Amino acid sequence: MPNCCDGPKCLESRIHTFWKESDLTRFAARIKGDWWQQIIPHPTLYVSHVVIEADPISGQIGMSAKAYDADGNVAATWHSEAAVLIGNKLFYIWSGRYTDKKRSAEQRTGFGSFNFRGEGEAKFGQGEFLDVDRVLQKLETSKWSLAEFKRCEADESAVLNSHDTERIRELIQKKKTTTLSGGC
């Protein structure tokens, strides 16, 4: 009779058990969900909707985002290529592109980090990121961009995930009058 630890199911079970008991799992549970991100300052992007997800099998945290201009139009998209947790900080490599016709062929890459705050489910965060392509093109020196994060309210998440462009535009327009800082 084969030993339970001889097959792929046993390995999957061990990974799942490790994932459930790990610091990464506890951290992922605190930060997963829908977030507002505001780059401070940015000349054309007003606010982004960032979705943070965790995969219990691979143990990976993934992020994807849509950046909106002040009129509520999608101006850029990005996603994480890799992410790692060190302490209470999430470090990531990202890839993205602008959505307008003039710059849509431009692939952007970089890296960054986030620190999230709040007991239990995190409510606020702050971080920094670098657009490596801009540095390589000598459009900037190694200038880090700062960003603030605020967890989306349930009704905001529902709108942002609805794919209803008009409702999303209205929500972004309302965000023009508020700040994300919340003590970051």
Q: pLDDT by residue (tens digit) across 23-74?
A: 667 777 788 899 999 888 766 667 899 999 987 666 678 899 999 988 888 9
Q: How far is CA 32 from CA 53, 54, 132, 164, in A?
A: 5, 7, 26, 23
The whole-angstrom separation of Cα 152 and Cα 159 is 10
Q: Which residues of the chain have pLDDT under 70?
A: 1-24, 42-45, 56-59, 104-105, 134-135, 137-142, 176-184
Is 77 a member of any domain?
yes
CATH (domain of 60) = 2.40.128
Q: In whole angstroms, what is the distance from residue 169 CA to residue 49 CA?
A: 12
Instruction: State the total domains in the chain.
Output: 1
Is 142 within the bounds of a domain?
A: yes
Structural domain boundaries, residue 16: 4-175
- Distance (Å, whole) CA 122 – CA 10: 33
Domain annotation covers residue 183: no
pLDDT for residue 184: 35
pTM: 0.77
* Mean pLDDT over each residue of the chain, to the nearest integer: 79
